[in-house]
Structure 1
Amino acid sequence: MDHNRVIRDVTVRLPMASTAVEACQWTVDALARYAPATISVLLQVHDRLRCIAATGSWHVFSTVPPKAGIVGRVYASGVGATVAQVADDPDYLPLRPDVTAEICVPVLDPAGRPIGVLDLQWSDPVELGPWRETAERLANRLGARIVALGGPPAESRSEKLLRHAAAMTAAQTDWELMTAAIGAARDVSTLAAAVLVLGGRDGPRLGAPTRTPGELEHRLRAELAEAGTPALGRMIGRAHRHGAAYTLGEAGHPPTVDYAPLARAGVRTLVVVPVGPPDTGGVLLVADERLLSPDPTTVSLMELLAGQAWTCLDRLRTLAQLSEQANSDPLTGLRHTGPFGQRIATATPGRTALLAIDVDGFKSVNDTYGHQAGDRLLVGLARALQDALRQGDELFRVGGDEFVAVIEVNRPAEAVRIGERLAEAARRTGQTISVGVAVAEPRESPEATLRRADQALYTVKRTGRDAVHLAPAT
C-alpha cells in the first residue's frame, strides 16, 4: 500500500471542501478507496461526539458520550489508540460482528486541542503501524481544514430540541421543568426571552423564571404581573381558541389589547404557543426586542417543545398526587405510618420530641353514634390539632384514633407546653385527648423513644385522661 498516495489524494481534495461536513465526508470517501475498513469521523457537537461522516458499516452510532468507547477515550485524552484485538478492550463499542482491530486518532485543531476523532476498524488482517501513521497525518490535515471553515458543524435546532426534551424528561420538580422549558425555548428559537403562563384553580400565574433571566425577560414578567390575572387569562384563551401565532416583523403596526403589556416591555417579535388543554393548560410566550420575522419552522418547534413540556409537567403532577395519596391518610389528610417512620429515623437526641396522642372515649362515640360520626370527630380533631402546632411541627395519624406529633424543642418543658396546647385545642372541639411526651435520648432508637411516649400516654389514661405526661429519662 502506497500510504503517501493515500495522504496525497485526501490532501488534494480538502482545500475544495466548503463546509466541515464536506471535509469529513471527502476524507472518509478517499480513505475508503484504499482501506477495506469501517471508517468514521466524529466531531464534538455541544456535549457529545457526533458522527459527521462514515462508510464501510451497516450501522454507526449517531452520537457517543465524550468518554464512551475507544473513540471517547481517544478524544478525552488526545492520544491515539491502536487496538490489535478489540475483544480484549473493555471500551470497544461493537458495530460489526467481524471487526478485529481498530485504530482511532484525535482530530486536532492547529493548537493541538482535540475537536473530534478519526476512527478505522478492520475485519481482515492488516499491518496497523503504517495505517496509524497515515491516520494521524490525515487527522491533522482534516482538523486544520475544519478550523479554517469555522469549526465543527453547529448543533441543529432539531438536535437542540431533542437534547432539551431529554432534560425536561429528567426534571424532578415543576420548577426544574419550567426552568428547562424556558431555557429550551430561548435556545431553540434563538429569541431573547421566554415566559410560561400556566392556568390553575386559582387563576393563571407566571411559571418559574430561569435562574439568569435577561433584561427583556425581567421586564416581560414585570409587565405581565402588573397586567394581572384577567389579562393572562385572555392570552391563554386566545392561544387555545386560535392556535399558535407569530409576528411578521413589520414595523408600524400596533399590537392587540391582549398583547399591549408585551409591547410596553419592549417586545417587537413574539411567538405565542398554547400549552396543554384549554381548561388546565397555559401559553408559552417567546419574545425579542429585535424586529424579526420568525419562520414557520420555529413556530412548529415551539409547539413541539410546548407539547413535551406539558407532557412532563402533567407526569410530575400525577406522580405528586399518587405520592400524596400513598403517604396520606385518606380520612384526615395527615401523613401516616410510612412517612412517620422516615421522620423519626432522623430524630435528634435532646431536641426531637414525640407526642403520642389518643382520643378519649372514641370507642363509645363509634358504638353510640356510628362510624360516620366517629370519622367526623377524627377529621375535626385532626384539623384542630394541626392548627395548634407551630410552623415546622408535624402531625401523623398512626392508628384508628391514635396520632403522633413530632416536634423540635430546646428542653422537655417546651414539649409539655406544646402537648398542653394540643389538649386545649381538642377541648375546644368538645373532645378530650391524652398525651404522652418523650424526648429522644442519646443512643436511643426511635422505636424506644416512641415506646416511652406510649408508656407516658398510658399513665395519663390510668390517672383520669385529658392530660399531658412527660416520660422520665432512662
Structure 2
Amino acid sequence: MDHQRVIRAVTVRLPMASTAVEACQWTVTALARHTPATISVLLQVHDRLRCVAATGSWQVFSTVPPKTGIVGRVYASGETAVVPDVAADPDYLPVRPDVTAEVCVPVLDPAGRPVGVLDLQWCEPVELAPWRETAERLAARLGARIVALGGPPAESRSEKLLRHAAALTSAPTEEDLWAAALTAARDVSTLSAAALVLAGRLGTPAAAPSELETRIRAELVEAGPGALDRMTSRAHRHGAGYTLGEAGHPPTVDYAPLARAGVRTLVAVPVGPPDTGGVLLVADERLLCPNPTTVNLVELLAGQAWSCLDRLRTLARLREQASSDPLTGLRHTGPFGQRIATATPGRTALLAIDVDGFKTVNDTYGHQAGDRVLIGLARALEGALRQGDELYRIGGDEFVAVIEVNRPEEAVRIAERLTEAARRTGRTISVGVALPRPGESPELTLRRADQALYAVKRHGRDGVRLAPA
C-alpha cells in the first residue's frame, strides 16, 4: 500500500470542500478507494459524537454519547487507539460481525483540541502501524480544514427537539418538567425568554432566568389573573400565534403586559386542554420574524410537555393509591412501617387508636354504615391533629397517629383532643400512647401503645393511657 498516495488523494480534495460535513465526506470517500475498511468520521455536536460521514458498513451509529465506545474514549483522551483484536476491547461498538481490528484517531484543531474522530475498522489481516500514521496525518489535515470552515456543524433544530424531548420525558417532577420545557422552547426557537401560564397562574420559572424573563414575570404578576386568563383563552380559541417582528405595530390588549416588559417578538402556543391547560410564551426584545416552522416546533414541545405532565400525574395517582387506604384516604401500613422506622427516642410518640363498639355498628347496621363511621372519624381525627402530625389506618377500625413532641404529657394532650373530636361525631375511641425507648424497635413501641390501649378498653373505653416509660 502506497500510504503517501493515500494522503495525497485526500489532501488534494480537502481545499475544495465548502462545509465541514463535505470535508469529512470527501475524506471518507477518498480513503475508501484505497482500503476495504469500514470508515467513519464522527464530530462533536452539542454533547454527542455525531457520524457525519461513513462508508463500508451495513449500519453505523448515528450518534454516540460522550466517552462511549472506542470512538468516545479516543475523543475524550485525545489519544489514538490501535486495537488489533476488537473482541478483546470491552469498549468496542459492533457495526458488523466480521470486524477484527480497528484504528481510531482524534481529529484535532490546530490548537490540539479534539473536534471529532476518524475511525477505520478491518475485517481482514492488515498492517496497523502504517495505517495509524496515515490516519493521524489525515485527521490533522481534516481538523485544520474543519476549523477553517467554521468548525463542526451546528446542532440542527430537529436534533435539538429530540434532545429536549428526552429531557422532558426523564423529568422527575412537574417543576423539573416545566423548567425543562422553558429551556427547550428558548433553545429551539432561538428566542431569549420563555414563560408558562398554567391553570390561570404563572408556572415554574426557567433555570437561570434572563433579565427579560424576570421583567415578563413581574408584569404578568402585576397584570393579575384576568390578564393571564385572557392570554390563555386567546391561544386556545385561535391557536398558536406569532409576531412578524415589525416596528410600529402596537400589541393587542391581551399582550400589553408583555410589551411593557420589553417584548418585541412573541410566539404564543396553547398547552393542554382549554379547561386545565395554559399558554407557553416565547419572547425576545429584538425585532425578529419567527417562521411557521419555528412555531410548529414550539407546538410540538408544548404537546410533548403536556403528555409528560399527564404521565407524571398518572404515576403520582398510582403511587397515592398504592400507599393510601381507598376508603378513608389515609396512608396505610406500608408508609406507616417506613415512618416508624425513623422514630426518634423520647420525641416520636405513637398513638394507637381503636374505635369503641365498632363491631356492633357493622353487625347492627351493616358494613356501609360502618364505612361511613370510619370515614367520618378519619376526617375528625385529621382535623384534631397539628400540622405535620400523621394519621394512618392500619386495620379495620385501627388507626395510629405519629407525632413529634417534647414531653410525654404533650402526647397525652393531643390524644385527649382526638377523643374529644371522636365524641363530636357521636362515637368514642380508646387511645394508647407510647414513646420509643433508647434502643427499642419501632415494633415494640407500637406493641406498648397497643397494651396501653387495651388497658383503656378494660377500664371502660373512651379514654387515653400513657404506656410506662
Normalising by the smaller structure, the TM-score range is: over 0.9
CA contact (8 A) 2:82 2:102 kept: yes
1:69-118 alpha-carbon deviations (Å, 9 max, x no partner): 11111111211111111111111111011111100011112222222111
Match of 1:444, SS? coil
> Which piece of structure 1 moves more, 293-302 or 14-23?
14-23
Residue 446 of structure 2 corresponds to residue 446 of structure 1: no
Q: How does 1:27-66 map to 2 (within 5 A)?
A: 27-66=27-66
Deviations 1:382-417 (A, max 9, x none): 112112212211101111211101112223222222
2:290 pairs with one of 294, 297, 300: 294
**Structure 2: where are the runs of 5+ without partners?**
none
2:171 partner letter: A
Structure 1 match to 2:131: 131
Letter in 2 for 1:85: D
Unaligned runs of 5+ in 1: none
In the TM superposition, residue 442 of structure 1 has moved relative to its aligned partner by 2.7
Q: Does 1:432 align with 2:428?
A: yes
How far apart, in 2, do the equivalents of 1:400 and 1:205 lie? 42
What does residue 373 of structure 2 align with?
A: 377
Measure, in 2, the Cα distance between the counterparts of 1:412 and 1:113. 68
Residue 399 of structure 1 is matched in structure 2 by 395
Residue 237 in structure 1 maps to residue 233 in structure 2: yes
Q: Does 1:93 align with 2:89?
A: no
1:397 and 1:438 map into 2 onto residues whose CA distance is 17
Q: Which residue of 1 aligns with 2:216?
A: 220
User: 3-state DSSP class of the match of 2:59?
Assistant: coil
Partner of 1:195: 195
Take 1:465 and 1:211, find their aligned partners in 2: how far apart are those partners? Answer: 57
Distance 1:210 1:422 in 2: 45
SS of residue matched to 1:332: coil
Percent identity (aligned): 83
Residue 231 of structure 1: how far off its partner (Å): 2.3
Q: Which one-letter code corresponds to 2:16 in the other structure? A: M
Letter of the 2:103 partner, please give it: I
Bigger mean CA deviation after superposition, 159-168 or 112-121: 112-121
Shift of 1:274: 1.2
Is 1:14–2:10 an aligned residue pair? Answer: no
Distance 1:148 1:443 in 2: 71
Quote the Cα distance in structure 1 between the aligned partners of 2:339 and 2:148.
61
2:272 matches 1:272: no
Larger displacement relative to structure 2 (406-415 or 115-124):
406-415
Letter in 1 for 2:240: A
- The alignment status of 1:341 with 2:332, answered yes or no, reads no
Matched, 1:262 2:248: no
1:211 aligns with 2:213: no
Is the contact made by 2:69 and 2:93 (CA closer than 8 Å) also made in structure 1?
yes
The aligned counterpart of 1:312 is 308
* Residue 234 (structure 1) shift: 2.1
Q: Which deviates the most, 395-404 or 277-286?
A: 277-286
Provide, for residues 159-182 of structure 1, a one-character-per-residue CA deviation record: whole Å limited to 9, x for no partner.
Answer: 111001000000111001000001
Code of the residue aligned with 1:168 in structure 2: it is: L
- 1:466 partnered with 2:449: no
- Write the distance in 1 (CA, Å) between the matches of 2:62 and 2:260: 45
Is the partner of 1:464 in helix, strand or coil? coil
Cα distance, 1:233 vs. partner? 2.0
TM-score by length of 1: 0.96
1: CA distance between counterparts of 2:34 and 2:215? 61
- For 1:249 and 1:109, the matched residues in 2 are separated by 39
| Aligned residue number for residue 281 of structure 1 | 277
Q: Which whole-Å CA distance do the structure 2 matches of 1:76 and 1:403 have between them?
A: 58
Question: RMSD across aligned C-alpha pairs, in angstroms?
Answer: 1.4
Contact 2:183 2:207 in 1 (8 A): no
Per-residue deviation at 1:126?
1.0
Contact 2:349–2:405 at 8 Å: present in 1 too? yes
Q: Give deviations 1:39-89, integer Å, cap 9, x for gaps.
A: 111111111111111111121000011111111111112111111111111
Counterpart position of 2:321: 325
Tell me the secondary structure at the aligned position of residue 54 of structure 1.
strand
Q: Residues of 1 paired with 2:44 and 2:343: CA distance?
A: 49
Q: Is the partner of 1:335 in helix, strand or coil? A: coil
User: Deviations for 1:227-259, whole angstroms, at most 9, x for unmatched residues?
Assistant: 222322222222122211110112111111211
Secondary structure of 2:151's aligned partner: coil
Partner of 2:351, secondary structure, is strand
Q: Is the contact made by 2:195 and 2:206 (CA closer than 8 Å) also made in structure 1? A: no
Letter in 1 for 2:461: R
CA deviation after TM superposition for structure 1 residue 304, in Å = 0.7
Query: SS of the counterpart of 1:188?
Result: helix
Paired residue secondary structure (2:263): coil
Cα distance, 1:266 vs. partner? 1.3
Give CA-to-partner distance per residue, 1:249-307, whole Å, 9 cap, x none: 12111111211121121111010111122222221111111111101110110011111
174-183 or 251-260, larger mean C-alpha shift: 251-260
Give the count of matched residue pairs. Answer: 469
In 2, Cα distance between the equivalents of 1:219 and 1:261?
10
Map of 2:350 onto structure 1:
354
**Separation in structure 2 between the aligned mates of residue 339 and residue 135 of structure 1, nearest angstrom:** 61
Contact 2:39 2:55 in 1 (8 A): yes
Distance, in Å, in 1 between the alignment partners of 2:148 and 2:238 is 48
Which amino acid is the alignment partner of residue 8 of structure 1? R
- Indicate the SS of the match to 2:354: strand
Aligned residue in 1 for 2:415: 419
Map 1:111-150 onto structure 2 (within 5 A).
111-150=111-150
CA contact (8 A) 2:78 2:113 kept: yes
Corresponding residue of 2:83: 83
